[in-house]
Chain A
Amino acid sequence: MKIQTGKKGLIINLLSLIVFALLWQLLVILARKDSFNIPFIRLRDIPTPVETWIALAGSMFIQIHGPGFTYGIINHVYASLQRVIEGGIIAFIIGVPVGIGVGYSKLLRNLFNPLIEIVRNMPPMAWIPLSIFIFVSGGSIFIVFIGVVFPIILNTVQGVKSTDSRLIDAARTLGASESMIVKKVIIPSAFPSIMTGLRIGLGVGWMAIVAAEMVIRSPVGLGYFIWNMGDLGRYSEMVAGMIVIGVIGYIMNISILLLQRRFIKWGD
Protein backbone atom coordinates (compact mmCIF):
# COMPACT_ATOMS: atom_id res chain seq x y z
CA MET A 1 0.00 0.00 0.00
CA LYS A 2 1.21 3.45 -0.81
CA ILE A 3 0.97 6.27 1.66
CA GLN A 4 0.26 9.53 -0.09
CA THR A 5 2.98 11.99 0.73
CA GLY A 6 3.62 15.60 -0.10
CA LYS A 7 1.34 18.61 -0.08
CA LYS A 8 -0.48 17.71 -3.27
CA GLY A 9 -1.30 14.20 -2.07
CA LEU A 10 -2.56 15.54 1.23
CA ILE A 11 -4.84 18.07 -0.44
CA ILE A 12 -6.33 15.43 -2.74
CA ASN A 13 -6.80 13.09 0.23
CA LEU A 14 -8.58 15.77 2.24
CA LEU A 15 -10.63 16.87 -0.75
CA SER A 16 -12.47 13.57 -0.99
CA LEU A 17 -13.32 13.74 2.70
CA ILE A 18 -14.56 17.33 2.45
CA VAL A 19 -16.69 16.62 -0.63
CA PHE A 20 -18.16 13.57 1.08
CA ALA A 21 -19.02 15.55 4.22
CA LEU A 22 -20.60 18.38 2.20
CA LEU A 23 -22.72 15.95 0.21
CA TRP A 24 -23.78 14.19 3.37
CA GLN A 25 -24.74 17.48 5.04
CA LEU A 26 -26.64 18.64 1.96
CA LEU A 27 -28.60 15.40 1.48
CA VAL A 28 -29.72 15.19 5.09
CA ILE A 29 -30.74 18.84 5.26
CA LEU A 30 -32.68 18.61 2.00
CA ALA A 31 -34.41 15.48 3.24
CA ARG A 32 -35.36 17.23 6.45
CA LYS A 33 -36.89 20.06 4.44
CA ASP A 34 -38.92 17.47 2.54
CA SER A 35 -37.25 18.56 -0.67
CA PHE A 36 -36.90 14.96 -1.66
CA ASN A 37 -37.35 11.52 -0.33
CA ILE A 38 -35.81 8.13 -0.99
CA PRO A 39 -38.23 5.29 -0.31
CA PHE A 40 -37.30 2.89 2.51
CA ILE A 41 -34.51 5.14 3.81
CA ARG A 42 -35.12 7.53 6.69
CA LEU A 43 -32.57 9.99 5.46
CA ARG A 44 -33.81 12.73 7.76
CA ASP A 45 -32.83 10.71 10.83
CA ILE A 46 -29.17 10.51 9.89
CA PRO A 47 -27.15 12.97 11.97
CA THR A 48 -25.39 15.57 9.87
CA PRO A 49 -21.57 15.85 9.91
CA VAL A 50 -21.92 18.98 12.00
CA GLU A 51 -24.11 17.24 14.58
CA THR A 52 -21.72 14.30 14.56
CA TRP A 53 -18.77 16.58 15.15
CA ILE A 54 -20.51 18.30 18.05
CA ALA A 55 -21.41 14.90 19.53
CA LEU A 56 -17.85 13.69 19.11
CA ALA A 57 -16.40 16.74 20.80
CA GLY A 58 -18.98 16.53 23.56
CA SER A 59 -18.47 12.88 24.39
CA MET A 60 -14.73 12.61 23.88
CA PHE A 61 -13.40 13.07 27.39
CA ILE A 62 -16.02 14.18 29.83
CA GLN A 63 -17.91 11.78 31.97
CA ILE A 64 -21.58 12.56 32.03
CA HIS A 65 -23.22 10.27 34.49
CA GLY A 66 -26.23 8.37 33.36
CA PRO A 67 -26.91 5.18 31.40
CA GLY A 68 -24.17 4.44 28.88
CA PHE A 69 -22.36 7.65 29.47
CA THR A 70 -20.05 6.65 32.25
CA TYR A 71 -17.07 6.82 29.93
CA GLY A 72 -15.84 9.22 27.31
CA ILE A 73 -15.07 7.94 23.82
CA ILE A 74 -11.38 8.03 24.66
CA ASN A 75 -11.95 5.39 27.37
CA HIS A 76 -13.82 3.20 24.90
CA VAL A 77 -10.99 3.59 22.38
CA TYR A 78 -8.49 2.63 25.03
CA ALA A 79 -10.46 -0.46 26.08
CA SER A 80 -10.89 -1.70 22.50
CA LEU A 81 -7.29 -1.00 21.57
CA GLN A 82 -6.07 -2.83 24.64
CA ARG A 83 -8.03 -5.93 23.65
CA VAL A 84 -6.74 -5.79 20.09
CA ILE A 85 -3.17 -5.37 21.22
CA GLU A 86 -3.43 -8.22 23.75
CA GLY A 87 -5.09 -10.55 21.27
CA GLY A 88 -2.62 -9.43 18.61
CA ILE A 89 0.41 -10.17 20.77
CA ILE A 90 -0.85 -13.66 21.63
CA ALA A 91 -1.64 -14.28 17.95
CA PHE A 92 1.84 -13.10 16.96
CA ILE A 93 3.57 -15.28 19.55
CA ILE A 94 1.64 -18.35 18.38
CA GLY A 95 1.17 -17.55 14.69
CA VAL A 96 4.77 -16.81 13.71
CA PRO A 97 6.32 -20.08 14.99
CA VAL A 98 3.41 -22.09 13.56
CA GLY A 99 3.83 -20.32 10.22
CA ILE A 100 7.57 -20.94 10.18
CA GLY A 101 7.12 -24.61 11.05
CA VAL A 102 4.40 -25.17 8.50
CA GLY A 103 6.24 -23.20 5.84
CA TYR A 104 9.56 -24.95 6.43
CA SER A 105 8.60 -28.56 7.05
CA LYS A 106 6.59 -30.50 4.53
CA LEU A 107 5.55 -32.95 7.23
CA LEU A 108 4.16 -30.20 9.45
CA ARG A 109 2.48 -28.66 6.42
CA ASN A 110 0.70 -31.86 5.53
CA LEU A 111 -0.17 -32.42 9.16
CA PHE A 112 -1.61 -29.00 9.95
CA ASN A 113 -2.89 -27.71 6.63
CA PRO A 114 -6.37 -29.27 6.76
CA LEU A 115 -6.89 -28.02 10.32
CA ILE A 116 -5.69 -24.50 9.50
CA GLU A 117 -7.74 -24.36 6.31
CA ILE A 118 -10.96 -25.36 8.07
CA VAL A 119 -10.57 -23.23 11.18
CA ARG A 120 -9.49 -20.15 9.27
CA ASN A 121 -12.71 -20.26 7.31
CA MET A 122 -14.76 -19.83 10.45
CA PRO A 123 -15.16 -16.07 10.79
CA PRO A 124 -14.19 -14.55 14.16
CA MET A 125 -17.86 -13.58 14.66
CA ALA A 126 -18.86 -17.25 14.46
CA TRP A 127 -16.76 -17.86 17.57
CA ILE A 128 -18.63 -15.30 19.66
CA PRO A 129 -21.39 -17.57 21.05
CA LEU A 130 -18.88 -20.26 21.99
CA SER A 131 -16.48 -17.81 23.60
CA ILE A 132 -19.30 -16.29 25.66
CA PHE A 133 -19.86 -19.51 27.53
CA ILE A 134 -16.37 -21.00 27.63
CA PHE A 135 -14.46 -17.90 28.69
CA VAL A 136 -15.10 -16.54 32.13
CA SER A 137 -13.26 -13.43 31.06
CA GLY A 138 -11.21 -12.39 28.07
CA GLY A 139 -13.65 -13.79 25.50
CA SER A 140 -13.26 -10.72 23.34
CA ILE A 141 -9.47 -11.07 23.37
CA PHE A 142 -9.97 -14.59 22.09
CA ILE A 143 -12.13 -13.27 19.24
CA VAL A 144 -9.34 -10.85 18.31
CA PHE A 145 -6.84 -13.69 18.48
CA ILE A 146 -8.90 -15.74 16.00
CA GLY A 147 -9.02 -12.76 13.67
CA VAL A 148 -5.31 -11.95 13.84
CA VAL A 149 -3.70 -15.38 13.98
CA PHE A 150 -4.65 -16.72 10.55
CA PRO A 151 -3.43 -13.80 8.44
CA ILE A 152 -0.17 -14.03 10.41
CA ILE A 153 0.15 -17.79 9.86
CA LEU A 154 -0.69 -17.63 6.16
CA ASN A 155 1.64 -14.72 5.43
CA THR A 156 4.46 -16.27 7.44
CA VAL A 157 4.08 -19.54 5.53
CA GLN A 158 4.13 -17.58 2.29
CA GLY A 159 7.23 -15.66 3.36
CA VAL A 160 9.07 -18.81 4.43
CA LYS A 161 8.19 -20.67 1.24
CA SER A 162 9.29 -17.83 -0.98
CA THR A 163 12.76 -17.65 0.58
CA ASP A 164 15.25 -17.64 -2.30
CA SER A 165 16.72 -21.15 -2.44
CA ARG A 166 20.08 -19.72 -3.52
CA LEU A 167 20.30 -17.84 -0.24
CA ILE A 168 19.76 -21.12 1.58
CA ASP A 169 22.44 -22.77 -0.59
CA ALA A 170 24.77 -19.86 0.10
CA ALA A 171 24.23 -20.21 3.84
CA ARG A 172 24.82 -23.99 3.64
CA THR A 173 28.12 -23.62 1.83
CA LEU A 174 29.13 -21.01 4.41
CA GLY A 175 28.70 -23.66 7.06
CA ALA A 176 25.26 -22.88 8.50
CA SER A 177 23.34 -25.68 10.21
CA GLU A 178 19.61 -26.15 9.60
CA SER A 179 18.68 -24.22 12.74
CA MET A 180 21.07 -21.43 11.73
CA ILE A 181 19.45 -21.34 8.30
CA VAL A 182 16.03 -20.91 9.88
CA LYS A 183 17.30 -18.23 12.24
CA LYS A 184 19.60 -16.30 9.96
CA VAL A 185 18.10 -16.78 6.51
CA ILE A 186 14.48 -17.89 6.56
CA ILE A 187 13.18 -15.65 9.34
CA PRO A 188 14.82 -12.43 8.08
CA SER A 189 13.72 -13.27 4.56
CA ALA A 190 10.13 -13.87 5.71
CA PHE A 191 10.08 -10.82 7.98
CA PRO A 192 8.38 -8.42 5.55
CA SER A 193 5.63 -11.02 4.94
CA ILE A 194 5.24 -11.54 8.68
CA MET A 195 4.73 -7.80 9.13
CA THR A 196 2.19 -7.79 6.32
CA GLY A 197 0.38 -10.64 8.07
CA LEU A 198 0.37 -8.65 11.30
CA ARG A 199 -1.00 -5.61 9.52
CA ILE A 200 -3.79 -7.49 7.77
CA GLY A 201 -4.47 -9.49 10.94
CA LEU A 202 -4.83 -6.43 13.14
CA GLY A 203 -7.28 -5.02 10.58
CA VAL A 204 -9.38 -8.14 10.86
CA GLY A 205 -8.93 -8.15 14.65
CA TRP A 206 -10.11 -4.57 14.91
CA MET A 207 -13.30 -5.37 13.04
CA ALA A 208 -13.77 -8.50 15.10
CA ILE A 209 -13.36 -6.70 18.42
CA VAL A 210 -15.95 -4.09 17.57
CA ALA A 211 -18.40 -6.82 16.60
CA ALA A 212 -17.56 -8.86 19.69
CA GLU A 213 -18.10 -5.93 22.02
CA MET A 214 -21.57 -5.44 20.59
CA VAL A 215 -22.56 -8.99 21.37
CA ILE A 216 -20.57 -9.68 24.51
CA ARG A 217 -21.66 -6.36 25.95
CA SER A 218 -18.61 -5.59 27.90
CA PRO A 219 -19.14 -2.33 29.76
CA VAL A 220 -16.51 -0.45 27.75
CA GLY A 221 -15.32 -0.60 24.17
CA LEU A 222 -16.20 1.13 20.94
CA GLY A 223 -18.49 -1.68 19.79
CA TYR A 224 -20.42 -1.45 23.02
CA PHE A 225 -20.47 2.34 22.77
CA ILE A 226 -22.08 2.55 19.33
CA TRP A 227 -24.56 -0.20 20.12
CA ASN A 228 -25.52 1.45 23.37
CA MET A 229 -25.84 4.89 21.78
CA GLY A 230 -28.10 3.33 19.16
CA ASP A 231 -30.25 1.81 21.91
CA LEU A 232 -30.48 5.17 23.61
CA GLY A 233 -31.38 6.92 20.37
CA ARG A 234 -28.28 9.09 20.52
CA TYR A 235 -27.51 8.69 16.86
CA SER A 236 -25.00 11.54 16.61
CA GLU A 237 -22.81 9.90 19.25
CA MET A 238 -23.30 6.54 17.52
CA VAL A 239 -22.10 7.87 14.16
CA ALA A 240 -19.23 9.68 15.91
CA GLY A 241 -18.22 6.30 17.38
CA MET A 242 -18.37 4.69 13.94
CA ILE A 243 -16.05 7.33 12.53
CA VAL A 244 -13.64 6.87 15.42
CA ILE A 245 -13.56 3.12 14.67
CA GLY A 246 -12.65 3.83 11.05
CA VAL A 247 -10.02 6.42 11.86
CA ILE A 248 -8.31 4.21 14.41
CA GLY A 249 -8.22 1.26 12.02
CA TYR A 250 -6.60 3.54 9.46
CA ILE A 251 -4.04 4.82 11.95
CA MET A 252 -3.14 1.27 13.01
CA ASN A 253 -2.56 0.29 9.41
CA ILE A 254 -0.34 3.25 8.67
CA SER A 255 1.60 2.86 11.92
CA ILE A 256 2.59 -0.68 11.03
CA LEU A 257 3.54 0.36 7.51
CA LEU A 258 5.78 3.07 8.93
CA LEU A 259 7.23 0.65 11.46
CA GLN A 260 7.92 -1.80 8.65
CA ARG A 261 9.66 0.91 6.65
CA ARG A 262 11.79 1.80 9.63
CA PHE A 263 12.92 -1.72 10.37
CA ILE A 264 13.33 -2.93 6.83
CA LYS A 265 16.03 -0.84 5.32
CA TRP A 266 16.66 -3.17 2.41
CA GLY A 267 14.65 -4.03 -0.68
CA ASP A 268 11.66 -2.57 -2.53
Chain B
Amino acid sequence: MGRLVINSVSKKFNDFLALEDVNFEVEDGEFVCLLGPSGCGKTTVLRLAAGLEEPDDGFLCLDGKKISGVNKECGFVFQEYALFPWRTVKENIEFGPQVKGKTSLECERISKHYIDLVGLSGFENHYPDELSGGMKQRVGIARAYANNPKLLLMDEPFGALDAQTRNLMQSELLRIWEKEHISVLFVTHSVDEAVYLGDKVVIMSARPGKVKEIFDVKLARPRIRTGPEANIIRDRVLKSLVSEIKIASKPGQ
Protein backbone atom coordinates (compact mmCIF):
# COMPACT_ATOMS: atom_id res chain seq x y z
CA MET B 1 0.00 0.00 0.00
CA GLY B 2 1.05 3.61 -0.33
CA ARG B 3 -1.32 5.67 -2.45
CA LEU B 4 -1.00 9.41 -2.02
CA VAL B 5 -3.87 11.63 -3.11
CA ILE B 6 -3.42 15.38 -3.26
CA ASN B 7 -6.81 16.98 -3.57
CA SER B 8 -7.22 20.69 -4.48
CA VAL B 9 -4.54 21.72 -2.06
CA SER B 10 -3.70 25.38 -1.49
CA LYS B 11 -1.06 26.75 0.81
CA LYS B 12 -0.30 30.32 1.82
CA PHE B 13 2.74 31.67 3.65
CA ASN B 14 1.53 34.95 5.12
CA ASP B 15 0.18 36.69 2.00
CA PHE B 16 2.22 34.66 -0.46
CA LEU B 17 0.18 32.01 -2.26
CA ALA B 18 2.66 29.13 -2.59
CA LEU B 19 0.30 26.48 -3.93
CA GLU B 20 -3.07 26.84 -5.61
CA ASP B 21 -5.47 23.98 -6.27
CA VAL B 22 -2.85 21.27 -6.63
CA ASN B 23 -4.22 17.89 -7.68
CA PHE B 24 -2.40 14.69 -8.48
CA GLU B 25 -1.90 11.17 -7.22
CA VAL B 26 0.97 8.84 -6.52
CA GLU B 27 -0.32 5.33 -7.11
CA ASP B 28 0.75 2.44 -4.96
CA GLY B 29 4.32 1.52 -5.83
CA GLU B 30 4.60 4.30 -8.37
CA PHE B 31 7.64 6.52 -8.87
CA VAL B 32 6.47 10.09 -9.46
CA CYS B 33 8.79 12.98 -10.24
CA LEU B 34 7.78 16.53 -9.45
CA LEU B 35 9.46 18.98 -11.78
CA GLY B 36 9.26 22.74 -11.96
CA PRO B 37 11.12 26.04 -11.84
CA SER B 38 12.67 27.03 -8.52
CA GLY B 39 10.23 28.61 -6.13
CA CYS B 40 7.21 26.81 -7.61
CA GLY B 41 6.40 25.09 -4.33
CA LYS B 42 7.73 21.59 -5.07
CA THR B 43 9.26 21.32 -1.62
CA THR B 44 6.04 22.62 -0.08
CA VAL B 45 4.14 19.73 -1.68
CA LEU B 46 6.59 17.30 -0.04
CA ARG B 47 6.35 19.01 3.34
CA LEU B 48 2.56 18.84 3.13
CA ALA B 49 2.73 15.13 2.31
CA ALA B 50 5.06 14.63 5.26
CA GLY B 51 2.66 16.50 7.51
CA LEU B 52 5.34 19.08 8.35
CA GLU B 53 2.94 21.74 7.04
CA GLU B 54 -0.86 21.87 6.97
CA PRO B 55 -2.73 22.88 3.80
CA ASP B 56 -4.92 26.00 3.96
CA ASP B 57 -7.37 24.42 1.59
CA GLY B 58 -7.98 20.91 0.27
CA PHE B 59 -6.50 17.76 1.76
CA LEU B 60 -3.92 15.02 1.31
CA CYS B 61 -4.61 11.35 1.89
CA LEU B 62 -2.31 8.39 2.26
CA ASP B 63 -4.16 5.13 1.67
CA GLY B 64 -7.45 6.87 2.26
CA LYS B 65 -6.35 8.34 5.60
CA LYS B 66 -6.25 12.11 5.78
CA ILE B 67 -2.77 13.44 6.59
CA SER B 68 -2.95 15.56 9.70
CA GLY B 69 0.03 16.14 11.93
CA VAL B 70 3.38 14.57 11.13
CA ASN B 71 2.90 11.68 8.73
CA LYS B 72 4.78 8.81 10.32
CA GLU B 73 4.18 6.52 7.40
CA CYS B 74 6.45 8.38 5.06
CA GLY B 75 10.21 8.61 4.82
CA PHE B 76 11.82 11.95 3.98
CA VAL B 77 15.14 12.28 2.15
CA PHE B 78 16.63 15.75 2.25
CA GLN B 79 18.76 17.54 -0.30
CA GLU B 80 21.61 18.33 2.09
CA TYR B 81 21.21 14.89 3.70
CA ALA B 82 20.22 16.20 7.19
CA LEU B 83 22.09 13.36 8.87
CA PHE B 84 22.70 13.55 12.61
CA PRO B 85 26.42 14.45 12.70
CA TRP B 86 26.91 12.98 16.18
CA ARG B 87 25.59 9.60 15.12
CA THR B 88 27.47 7.02 13.11
CA VAL B 89 26.04 5.58 9.89
CA LYS B 90 24.50 2.73 11.83
CA GLU B 91 23.12 4.99 14.56
CA ASN B 92 21.60 7.34 11.97
CA ILE B 93 19.78 4.46 10.33
CA GLU B 94 18.61 3.14 13.70
CA PHE B 95 17.12 6.50 14.74
CA GLY B 96 13.64 5.74 13.42
CA PRO B 97 13.35 2.21 14.82
CA GLN B 98 14.76 3.47 18.15
CA VAL B 99 12.23 6.27 18.64
CA LYS B 100 9.52 3.82 17.66
CA GLY B 101 10.56 1.70 20.62
CA LYS B 102 12.11 -1.24 18.82
CA THR B 103 14.51 -3.36 20.87
CA SER B 104 18.20 -2.97 20.21
CA LEU B 105 18.27 -6.42 18.66
CA GLU B 106 15.58 -5.43 16.15
CA CYS B 107 17.34 -2.11 15.47
CA GLU B 108 20.52 -4.03 14.79
CA ARG B 109 18.79 -6.33 12.34
CA ILE B 110 17.04 -3.46 10.53
CA SER B 111 20.16 -1.33 10.23
CA LYS B 112 22.18 -4.28 8.97
CA HIS B 113 19.58 -5.02 6.30
CA TYR B 114 19.51 -1.43 5.00
CA ILE B 115 23.25 -0.90 5.26
CA ASP B 116 23.67 -3.93 3.03
CA LEU B 117 20.91 -2.73 0.73
CA VAL B 118 22.44 0.69 0.08
CA GLY B 119 25.95 -0.74 -0.15
CA LEU B 120 27.51 0.79 2.97
CA SER B 121 28.86 -2.37 4.57
CA GLY B 122 32.14 -1.60 6.26
CA PHE B 123 31.12 2.01 6.99
CA GLU B 124 28.72 1.24 9.86
CA ASN B 125 30.80 3.08 12.42
CA HIS B 126 31.79 6.08 10.34
CA TYR B 127 30.47 9.53 11.15
CA PRO B 128 28.74 11.47 8.35
CA ASP B 129 31.69 13.88 8.20
CA GLU B 130 33.88 11.03 7.05
CA LEU B 131 31.67 10.18 4.06
CA SER B 132 31.41 11.57 0.53
CA GLY B 133 28.19 13.24 -0.63
CA GLY B 134 26.98 10.15 -2.42
CA MET B 135 27.60 7.97 0.62
CA LYS B 136 25.85 10.46 2.88
CA GLN B 137 22.78 10.27 0.71
CA ARG B 138 22.92 6.47 0.80
CA VAL B 139 22.66 6.85 4.57
CA GLY B 140 19.78 9.30 4.10
CA ILE B 141 17.92 6.78 1.93
CA ALA B 142 18.63 3.87 4.28
CA ARG B 143 17.47 5.93 7.26
CA ALA B 144 14.18 6.73 5.52
CA TYR B 145 13.68 3.09 4.47
CA ALA B 146 14.49 1.76 7.93
CA ASN B 147 11.19 3.10 9.20
CA ASN B 148 9.33 0.89 6.75
CA PRO B 149 7.40 3.78 5.17
CA LYS B 150 4.58 3.46 2.69
CA LEU B 151 5.78 6.50 0.80
CA LEU B 152 9.22 7.91 0.22
CA LEU B 153 9.45 11.70 -0.17
CA MET B 154 12.67 12.89 -1.75
CA ASP B 155 13.59 16.56 -1.96
CA GLU B 156 16.21 16.97 -4.69
CA PRO B 157 18.23 14.25 -3.01
CA PHE B 158 21.00 14.22 -5.59
CA GLY B 159 21.07 17.97 -6.22
CA ALA B 160 24.34 18.50 -4.37
CA LEU B 161 26.21 15.67 -6.10
CA ASP B 162 28.53 15.80 -9.10
CA ALA B 163 27.19 14.46 -12.43
CA GLN B 164 28.81 11.01 -12.29
CA THR B 165 27.83 10.32 -8.70
CA ARG B 166 24.38 11.58 -9.49
CA ASN B 167 23.89 9.09 -12.34
CA LEU B 168 25.19 6.29 -10.18
CA MET B 169 22.88 7.23 -7.31
CA GLN B 170 19.88 7.36 -9.66
CA SER B 171 20.56 3.79 -10.78
CA GLU B 172 21.13 2.75 -7.19
CA LEU B 173 17.88 4.33 -6.11
CA LEU B 174 15.98 2.44 -8.83
CA ARG B 175 17.66 -0.80 -7.79
CA ILE B 176 16.58 -0.24 -4.17
CA TRP B 177 13.10 0.86 -5.20
CA GLU B 178 12.62 -2.25 -7.32
CA LYS B 179 13.62 -4.40 -4.36
CA GLU B 180 11.49 -2.63 -1.74
CA HIS B 181 8.59 -1.59 -3.87
CA ILE B 182 7.16 1.48 -2.17
CA SER B 183 5.75 4.65 -3.69
CA VAL B 184 8.15 7.53 -4.29
CA LEU B 185 7.49 11.22 -4.73
CA PHE B 186 10.72 12.71 -6.02
CA VAL B 187 11.33 16.45 -6.39
CA THR B 188 13.90 17.55 -8.94
CA HIS B 189 14.68 20.39 -11.28
CA SER B 190 16.48 18.13 -13.73
CA VAL B 191 14.46 16.99 -16.75
CA ASP B 192 16.92 14.16 -17.41
CA GLU B 193 16.58 12.90 -13.89
CA ALA B 194 12.78 13.07 -13.96
CA VAL B 195 12.48 11.21 -17.26
CA TYR B 196 15.04 8.60 -16.26
CA LEU B 197 13.43 7.86 -12.89
CA GLY B 198 9.73 8.56 -13.05
CA ASP B 199 6.71 6.49 -14.06
CA LYS B 200 5.03 9.84 -14.15
CA VAL B 201 6.41 13.38 -14.36
CA VAL B 202 4.31 16.16 -12.85
CA ILE B 203 5.21 19.60 -14.19
CA MET B 204 4.49 22.51 -11.90
CA SER B 205 4.16 26.16 -12.78
CA ALA B 206 5.21 28.94 -10.45
CA ARG B 207 3.55 31.89 -8.71
CA PRO B 208 1.29 30.41 -7.59
CA GLY B 209 2.45 26.81 -7.70
CA LYS B 210 0.03 24.75 -9.80
CA VAL B 211 0.13 21.47 -11.64
CA LYS B 212 0.60 22.35 -15.29
CA GLU B 213 0.88 19.03 -17.03
CA ILE B 214 1.37 15.38 -16.19
CA PHE B 215 3.42 13.10 -18.45
CA ASP B 216 3.28 9.33 -18.26
CA VAL B 217 6.70 7.87 -18.95
CA LYS B 218 5.87 4.40 -20.21
CA LEU B 219 9.38 3.20 -20.82
CA ALA B 220 10.60 -0.25 -19.92
CA ARG B 221 13.15 -0.51 -17.13
CA PRO B 222 16.08 -0.56 -17.02
CA ARG B 223 15.92 2.55 -19.14
CA ILE B 224 18.50 3.77 -21.56
CA ARG B 225 19.18 7.42 -20.80
CA THR B 226 19.77 8.36 -24.43
CA GLY B 227 17.25 6.01 -26.07
CA PRO B 228 15.07 7.54 -28.82
CA GLU B 229 11.81 7.21 -26.83
CA ALA B 230 13.41 8.83 -23.82
CA ASN B 231 14.60 11.67 -26.02
CA ILE B 232 11.11 12.30 -27.36
CA ILE B 233 9.60 12.45 -23.88
CA ARG B 234 12.45 14.57 -22.59
CA ASP B 235 11.86 17.00 -25.44
CA ARG B 236 8.15 17.32 -24.63
CA VAL B 237 8.81 17.75 -20.93
CA LEU B 238 11.46 20.35 -21.63
CA LYS B 239 9.14 22.35 -23.88
CA SER B 240 6.44 22.36 -21.24
CA LEU B 241 8.96 23.44 -18.63
CA VAL B 242 10.75 26.12 -20.66
CA SER B 243 7.68 28.29 -20.96
CA GLU B 244 7.29 28.06 -17.19
CA ILE B 245 10.88 29.01 -16.52
CA LYS B 246 10.47 32.03 -18.78
CA ILE B 247 7.45 33.16 -16.77
CA ALA B 248 9.10 32.39 -13.44
CA SER B 249 12.26 34.29 -14.23
CA LYS B 250 10.48 37.42 -15.43
CA PRO B 251 11.42 40.23 -13.06
CA GLY B 252 8.94 42.10 -10.97
CA GLN B 253 6.38 39.36 -10.52
**Complex formed: what's the CA distance from A169 to B52 in Å?**
7
**Complex formed: what's the CA distance from A171 to B99 in Å?**
9
Return chain B residues, CB-CB under 8 Å to A191.
Answer: 86
**Contact residues of A: prevailing secondary structure:** helix
* B38-50 interface bits toward A, Cβ cutoff 8 Å, 1 = contact, 0 = none: 0000000000001
Q: Which of B59-81 contact A (CB under 8 A)?
A: 70-72, 74-76, 78, 80
Q: Which of A185-205 contact B (CB under 8 A)?
A: 185, 188-189, 191
Q: Which of A147-173 contact B (CB under 8 A)?
A: 164, 166-167, 169-173
**Complex formed: what's the CA distance from A191 to B80 in Å?**
22
A166 lies within 8 A of B96 (CB): no
Given known A166-B80, A173-B76, A266-B85, contact A180–B129 (CB-CB < 8 A): no
Return chain A residues, CB-CB under 8 Å to B128.
Answer: 266
Q: Which of under 10, 10 to 19, 20 to 34, or 35 or more describes the interface residues of B?
A: 20 to 34
In the complex, residue of chain B having the shortest beta-carbon distance to the beta carbon of A174: B96
Q: Which of B120-152 contact A (CB under 8 A)?
A: 127-129, 143-144, 147
Return chain B residues, CB-CB under 8 Å to A175.
Answer: 70, 72, 96, 99-100, 147
* B73-107 interface bits toward A, Cβ cutoff 8 Å, 1 = contact, 0 = none: 01110101010111100000001101110000000
**Complex formed: what's the CA distance from A184 to B99 in Å?**
9
Which one of A171, A174, A185 has the highest number of Cβ atoms from chain B below 10 Å of its Cβ? Answer: A174
In the complex, residue of chain A having the shortest beta-carbon distance to the beta carbon of B129: A266
A265 in contact (CB, < 8 A): yes
B127 lies within 8 A of A265 (CB): yes
A255 in contact (CB, < 8 A): no
Return chain B residues, CB-CB under 8 Å to A170.
Answer: 76, 78, 82, 84, 143
A176 in contact (CB, < 8 A): yes
**Complex formed: what's the CA distance from A166 to B84 in Å?**
10
Given known A175-B72, A188-B84, contact A267–B96 (CB-CB < 8 A): no
**Complex formed: what's the CA distance from A265 to B126 in Å?**
10
**Complex formed: what's the CA distance from A184 to B86 in Å?**
10
B95 lies within 8 A of A174 (CB): yes
**Complex formed: what's the CA distance from A267 to B128 in Å?**
9
Closest Cβ–Cβ distance, residue A82 to chain B (whole Å): 32
Return chain A residues, CB-CB under 8 Å to B99.
Answer: 171, 174-177, 180, 184
Closest Cβ–Cβ distance, residue A168 to chain B (whole Å): 9
Q: Which of under 10, 10 to 19, 20 to 34, or 35 or more describes the interface residues of A?
A: 20 to 34
Return chain A residues, CB-CB under 8 Å to B147.
Answer: 174-175
**Complex formed: what's the CA distance from A267 to B70 in Å?**
29
In the complex, residue of chain B having the shortest beta-carbon distance to the beta carbon of A183: B99
Pick the contact of A173: B52, B100, B127 (CB < 8 A).
B52
Return chain B residues, CB-CB under 8 Å to A267.
Answer: 85-86, 129
In the complex, residue of chain A having the shortest beta-carbon distance to the beta carbon of B74: A173
**Complex formed: what's the CA distance from A171 to B96 in Å?**
8
Closest Cβ–Cβ distance, residue B14 to chain A (whole Å): 18
Return chain A residues, CB-CB under 8 Å to B75.
Answer: 173-174
Closest Cβ–Cβ distance, residue B109 to chain A (whole Å): 17
Return chain A residues, CB-CB under 8 Å to B100.
Answer: 175
**Complex formed: what's the CA distance from A169 to B86 in Å?**
16
Which one of A184, A188, A266 has the highest number of Cβ atoms from chain B below 10 Å of its Cβ? Answer: A266
**Complex formed: what's the CA distance from A177 to B96 in Å?**
11
* B151-188 interface bits toward A, Cβ cutoff 8 Å, 1 = contact, 0 = none: 00100000000000000000000000000000000000
Closest Cβ–Cβ distance, residue B51 to chain A (whole Å): 8
Return chain B residues, CB-CB under 8 Å to A174.
Answer: 75, 95-96, 99, 143, 147
In the complex, residue of chain B having the shortest beta-carbon distance to the beta carbon of A176: B99
**Complex formed: what's the CA distance from A176 to B98 in Å?**
9
22 residue pairs of the A-B complex, CB under 8 angstroms, read A166-B82, A167-B82, A169-B50, A169-B76, A169-B78, A169-B82, A170-B143, A172-B52, A173-B70, A173-B72, A173-B74, A173-B75, A174-B95, A174-B143, A174-B147, A175-B147, A184-B95, A184-B99, A191-B86, A264-B86, A266-B127, A267-B129
Q: What are the 5 A-B residue pairs with the smallest beta carbon separation, nearest first?
A: A174-B96, A173-B76, A166-B82, A176-B99, A266-B85
Sample of 6 more A-B contacts, CB < 8 Å, known A173-B50, A174-B75, A264-B86:
A164-B82, A166-B80, A170-B143, A171-B95, A172-B52, A184-B95
List the interface of chain A (C-beta within 8 A of B): 164, 166-167, 169-177, 180, 184-185, 188-189, 191, 264-267
